[in-house]
Structure 1
Amino acid sequence: MKDIVQVVLIFSLTSVVMPGLQVRKSNQTKAMMRESCFLSDYSLKAKCVQIHQNLRCKGGFNDQWINGIKYEITHLTVTEWPGECFNVGHLHLHFPELRSLEIVNCTLLRTFKGYFRSDSKIEKITMHGLSSLWEIPPETVNHMVNLREMDLRSNMLRHMKAQLLIGSPVLERVRLSGNKWDCSDGGLDWLAMEEPNGTTKSRITDYYDLVCYQKLYRGKPLHKVMDIIKIDTIRSIVQNSHYKRLADLYLDNNSIAAVKELEGSEWFSTFRVLSLRGNYLKQIPVYAFDKAFQANNNIMHVFLGQNPWRCDCHFIPRFQGLLLKYKRVIRDLTDIRCSKSSDKKTSLVQISTMPLGNVCSNETELAISPINIVNIVLFALIMFILGKFLYDWRNFKNTGKLPWLSSVLP
């Protein structure tokens, strides 16, 4: 009986432990599959069909196509790739004579590994239906000297670097419509900085069909958003009736050096969010900002960080007072710092917490303003007149002689 109980206990422990081992083994296998990026990873269920010089593979590559070099294939279509990674470097080794490459309906594909070498003969790359791919690394195609066309329509692309379009010296056409472009995170700012007829932008044949999809600019034409992003003045926005009801305005990473147009504008007293991060602002009209913030019942967030603020005794005391007064609205106080300089007391120092003695020290006297000069002159004149009156009065009392002015008057 005792032996039977021991056997039952051992069997129970085995049944409890084994599922854990199986789950762990399964997780390890999945992790290894994610780290692996070989064309041979999915050869068992792959189906490839060759018609003359064209090869179409679904779900991977059969062993016969990834063993050795296939010089006879010039056009390759890959569909329903079952992995998250696709190694284009290995693809180039097995199919060195490719002229055209299509990667279609690969919903799991997230990234590319390796790159096409400079001796690649591919002239056209087509990618459609890659619903998990957010960005194509520029180094994937940068070395291709024969690439003339890229058709990247109808994917999930959100970002794109300029290097992707300038790597190939003979690249003529790029199609990008039907993607989920994010126009608000800086990933496409290079488009805003380029001239309207710039070489890189002109290669995008459907540029005016591109639409922003993510966050702030959802549904807006990309080219119009880029026109706003590249501005160096806010006059065109504040004075444009089309933006009268604009609530949230993000103008990060532009070339704006002044915002005097905001003063007195109707929009400035009704906006909800204003972001001017990463521009060239050195100072702002503090009084105008204070007045607008007090009158604005809609205001929620203001961002002023990463600008080269001028730190002197004339501007900083008033600016610091504004920051502290509206610290619940101004959300990036830690990024609002003095511009970089040789003065260790102020260089890149956070303005809201900086001692005013750093900019208004005894060694650096505050420059006398014009109104103070006028006051000093008036005070001197008053003292002169008062002194002259006392002198004449005393002289008259002692000698009985009238002052010169009184003696000549009729």
Structure 2
Amino acid sequence: MATIRLTVLSSIKEHDGRLPILVCISQKKERAYIKTEFLLDDIAEFDNGKVAYRKDANVMNKRLEFVFSQYKEKFDSIECIDYFSAIQIKRIIMSKERPSHISFLEFWKQRINEIREEGRESYAKMNEETVRVFTNAEGDVPIPAINTLLVEHFKKWMIKKGYANGNIGLRLTHLKARINELIKSGVLKTDVHPFAYTKIPTAEPKECDLLIEEFQKIQRAEVEGKRLNLGRDMFLLSFYLCGINLKDLLSVDLSVDILSFERIKTVHAKTGKSVITIPIHSEAKAIISKYINKRGFLDLGYSYTYSNLQKYINLCMRELKEHLGIKQTLCFYSARKTFAQFASELGIPDGVIDYCLGHSDKSRGVIRYYTKVKQKQAEIAINRVVDYTNNPEKYTEYIEMRADIMLMKG
């Protein structure tokens, strides 16, 4: 439950050493502070929420009581206050306009700001696009108006406008997440979930895993030019590191022999953390040595933003695809899909593949957290996959036999 009170902290001082009296906003375990104009010489001059042991204590308390009442009035007028964070409450209180009943879009935009403050810029931007689409379809709506009819209308509007299934699914997933937050916090009260009668469509799986022959074309290619070399190296490096994504690849120390990291994508996940510990294979080290800087991180020689660098590397891979005559889609994600496909074909257990990829594997329930896949199993899996790419003929008979067995089971 959110609270507001006056306080003084020895850690917050003015340049001259005096202590400002603060308005403290508490929400769960979070605190936010607003400085007032009232300054004390010592923390002992503040006792039980009031100024004490000063000649001007009575005068200061009267003025302080008036100032605090202004903040308290705004605080008390905030509807749905239990949902907001302490920082958001502070912003509302300090705004010039009197807070009014929050609309769904206002809530969503405030949530995006919170997501951005958590460092999830990509997810924040995706939600901003969903807000734009939702606004075009439905306009702004009060939170109590969110129901099954609204959700179904939004889906039908996107279908009518020609949105692809993957795009519709993404927008509905964002919408459902925000609605669930409102329900969980008690802001939206409903007997029937707004998504009770709406099925979220899924995109067709992206066919971007390579055949072993296509992989070897890249693996054995001698190419000229920065783009082709960068496309080749980044694809192979990601593959040899179990399909690591670009953001993680740029943020991990690659000067070690054993790589241990948590995917940036799952850092803010609420259902358990998933640290991946894998060895850096010699094939990967050969590529890393071409780009590593003194601090142990990749330096690709570009000053692009992450988004632009991502686009540039995918452009390099598309050029590599054309140069080598590869028919399948080739992008950074292809490395991850290809590693998983090869591992599966070789009979590596799904749990080990999930571990290498950093998947949470929610479908397996709590047992996954009691039977951790050991680092040694991941090492064996990586060595087997890399050996397969170097000597596929060794595994041809096994893969064919396994495929026949799987077919008979089906």
Name the TM tier (shorter chain): under 0.3
The structure richer in helix per residue is 2
Larger radius of gyration: 1
TM-score in terms of structure 2 length: 0.25
TM-score by length of 1: 0.25
